[in-house]
Chain A
Amino acid sequence: MAEQRRAATIALLARFESAETLLAALTALRRDGHRRIEAFSPYPVEGVAEALGFRSRGVALAALLLTLGVVTAGYFMQWYSAVIAYPYVVGGKPLHGWPAFVPVVVALGLLAAVLGAVIAMVVGNRLPQPYHPAFEAESFLRASDDAFFLLLPPDDDSDEARRRLSERLYTLQACEIEEVPRC
């Protein structure tokens, strides 16, 4: 018995025909108490991330923080080089002529915001990640085409739990279920 209570070593990958059935199934499974669900779709489906209880604040925050840091550093660099390190009077203008420092700060700030957003997306998503257990499933090739998937582990390693979950998935209109190793 003790062996059967072990945490699941496999997960079930269920394919759905449409975004609506995916969302309905996801909401129902969440209500059943499943928390370790991953959903896949070939295009962003509205409401799925919310149904998973996920909100992406990190991307905007990373972009903002990087921008603030780079803008400050960029202005400091110009001030330091023009006033302290290499004071050089051009046309009688003040050494600390801030309006002339603005274009470079703006360019650097915009670049920082872009880099911040992209890096936060890539790092937050743990990319690059060449292997994922879902890739073991033949049907998953369609995840980048026209099919929608849910990936979740059964309660434990027993055949009973596995069967219970797959029956539940079929009642939620899953078209096909494959077993993959658990991530």
Chain B
Amino acid sequence: MTPRHRSLLPAGLTHANLTRRISDLVLHRPSPPGWWIALVICSLLTLMLLVTMSVLFSHGVGIFGLNIPVAWGLPIVNTIWWIGIAHAGTLISAVLLLTRQPWRASINRFAEAMAMFAIVCAGMYPLLHLGRPELFYYLLPYPDTMDLWPQWRSPLVWDFFAITMYLLFTALFLYMSLLPDLATLRDRATRRVGQYGYAILALGWRGSATHWARYEKATLILAALATPIVVTVTGIISLDLSVSIVPGYHFTIFPPYFVAGALFSGFSTVALLAVLLRSLFGLRDLVTDTHLDYLGRMMLFFGLIVAYAYTQEMFTAWYSGEDYYRHVYVDRWTGPYAPAWWSMIVCNVVLVQLLWFRRVRRHGPAMLCLALTSNLGMWLERFQIVFTSTHADYQPANWDVNWPTVWDWAAYLGSLGLFGLLLLLFVRLMPLISMHDMRALIARQREERDDG
């Protein structure tokens, strides 16, 4: 057994006391005060989102800062940003499963939950942005009485399929991982409502060996599919932009660039949740500084890819020799949206370099701050791509500056509240750490100790 391995699990952790600790968090322990405070804040923000939505549906998209030339504003920025956050949740869980990384077991559950709720937030914005949201089903190919079909050459139709597919995948992946743990909760629940509720959700799972064999095969297939799914979804979303001929959108580098950015913000969010949840529920020995160290390395890796993509984007714009393409960049550095661009560079390129230091990666509060700045940086990146590209394109007569309105901000902050609310409810109803994955890890550790 390597020392690296040992530091991931506390000494003396057995199957029985792991089960007791994790399931008692859900079944018996009262919520910590911090949880209640967070719940109130998130509920208020969610309420604000609901108010915004009702105003939006009664008044129309005019309440947002959308106009020609910037016809895509904050809703699209937020969609791309939230999808990115979802991606790392999926990828962490799947890639670490395929490569059999022992540090996966204690973080995969909330990474998957994070992915699930981020995609809910992401999927909401395109509908809000539609103008006539009640007609969204026109994107579905169904034999309607108008004899109309979706336009298959439109990236917006691809987008609809990609996001819907991703939503279903994430939900199934999360449920698959929860299934054996739901059986544990069913067996340990003491109150009627818990016993029935978890029993229904557990589908009668009993840990039969043949069941486990099929379960493992299916999980493996899902994990293997996760990587192409992640690349497909963000790739297709980036095509919404890059298929158009707008300068600043029309780059072939967009799909890989978006995927790297997505993973960068996603790993940051996992680190953020890891720090917050472990201190809220006292799980420092299960989610260790070593876990943060690895997350920090992933953030640094994808941060560097993002920085590389920035240089390539600028190089391509310069090398194209086209005045408008070059102007987009000069405008990003000096134009009305320049503060967003420079803040993005500080967050995504400069501050990330701190992660080269081991002490920073293993320091909870430092990681929390860097996770916040990285997420802010990625949000600014999406903002500057969407806004600066369209506000000054091929028709100088059309150039204009648009800013988000109060309603834009309300919808954005509201989605943060919704995400937090769903996550807070999740950690009270479902086990925060995957018990069956941890059991397998404990067993493997014991085996290695016996061998060595």
What is the bound-complex CA distance between A81 and B208, given in angstroms? Answer: 47
Enumerate chain A residues within 8 angstroms of B222, measured Cβ to Cβ: 114, 117-118
B379 to chain A, nearest CB (A): 26
The answer to whether A42 and B207 touch (CB under 8 A), given A144-B180, A145-B16, is yes
CA distance A77 to B157 in the complex (A): 14
Inter-chain contact A127/B204, CB cutoff 8 Å: yes
Interface centre among B14, B183, B440 (most CB of A within 10 A): B440
Interface residues of B in 1-59 (CB under 8 A from A): 14-16, 19
Chain A 95-117 against B: per-residue CB contact (8 Å), 1 yes, 0 no? 00100110110111011011101
Q: Please give me the residue from chain B that is nearest to A22 by CB atom.
A: B209
Q: Interface digits, B359-388 against A, CB 8 Å rule (1 contact, 0 not)?
A: 000000000000000000000000000000
Q: Are B141 and A135 in contact (CB under 8 A)?
A: no
Residues from 183 to 212 in B contacting A, C-beta threshold 8 Å: 183-184, 186-188, 199, 203-212
Which of A1-9, A33-41, A161-169, A174-182 contacts the other chain? Answer: A33-41
For A146, list chain B residues within 8 Å (CB). Answer: 14-16, 19, 439
Task: Decide yes or no whether B98 CB sits under 8 A from chain A.
Answer: no
Does residue B317 face the partner (Cβ distance < 8 Å to A)? no
- Whether B426 is near chain A, meaning CB under 8 Å from some CB there, is no
Asked whether, in the complex, the Cβ of A131 is within 8 Å of the Cβ of B204, the reply is yes
- Are A114 and B162 in touch, CB under 8 angstroms? no
Query: A38, A52, A55, A125 — which one has the most chain B CB atoms within 10 A of its CB?
Result: A125
Contact of A100 among B147, B152, B161, B216 (CB under 8 A): B152
Smallest Cβ-Cβ distance to A129: which chain B residue: B204
Size bracket, chain B contacts: 35 or more
Residue A82 interfacial (CB < 8 Å): yes
Interface of A is mostly: helix
Determine whether the beta carbon of A82 is less than 8 Å from that of B152: yes
With an 8 A cutoff between CB atoms, is B133 at the interface? Answer: no
Q: How many A-B residue pairs have CB under 8 A?
A: 189
B236 touches A103 (CB 8 A): yes
Does the CB pair A81–B141 fall under 8 Å?
yes
B225 adjacent to A97 (CB under 8 Å): no
B172 with A48: CB separation less than 8 A: no
Question: Are B187 and A125 in touch, CB under 8 angstroms?
Answer: no
**Any A CB within 8 A of the CB of B284:** no
Bound complex: CA of A104 vs CA of B236, how far in Å?
10
Verify B210–A52 contact, CB threshold 8 A: yes
Q: Could you tell me the distance between the alpha carbons of A106 and B153 in the complex, rounded to whole angstroms? A: 14
Contacting pair A38 B169 (CB below 8 A): no
For residue B47, give the distance in angstroms from its CB to the closest CB of chain A: 34
Cross-chain contact A130 with B204 (CB below 8 angstroms): yes
Chain A residue numbers with a CB within 8 Å of B206 are 40, 132, 134-135, 140, 143-144
- The residue that B214 contacts in the complex, of A19, A101, A120, with Cβ under 8 A, is A120
Q: Is B229 an interface residue (CB 8 A)?
A: yes
Closest to A112 in B: B165
Inter-chain contact A111/B212, CB cutoff 8 Å: no
Establish whether residues A78 and B218, one from each chain, have CB atoms under 8 Å apart when the complex forms: no
- Cross-chain contact B141 with A145 (CB below 8 angstroms): no
Task: Assess the B209–A145 pair: CB atoms within 8 A.
Answer: no
Task: Indicate whether B425 reaches chain A with its CB closer than 8 angstroms.
Answer: no
The answer to whether A40 touches B209, judged by C-beta atoms less than 8 angstroms apart, is yes
Whether the Cβ atoms of A111 and B215 lie closer than 8 Å is no
Contacting residues of chain A (45-60) with chain B, CB-CB under 8 angstroms: 45, 48-49, 52, 54-56, 58-60
B404 at the interface (CB under 8 A from A): no
B217 located at the interface, meaning its Cβ lies under 8 Å from any Cβ of chain A in the complex? yes
Q: For residue A81, which residues in chain B have a CB less than 8 angstroms away from its CB? A: 141, 149-150, 152
A103 to B439 CA separation, bound complex (whole angstroms) = 40
Please state if B213 and A114 are interface contacts (CB–CB under 8 Å).
Answer: no
Apart from A114-B225, A121-B214, A135-B206, list 14 A-B contacts with CB within 8 A: A42-B15, A45-B443, A86-B147, A86-B148, A97-B153, A103-B232, A107-B162, A107-B236, A121-B176, A127-B203, A127-B211, A134-B206, A140-B206, A146-B15
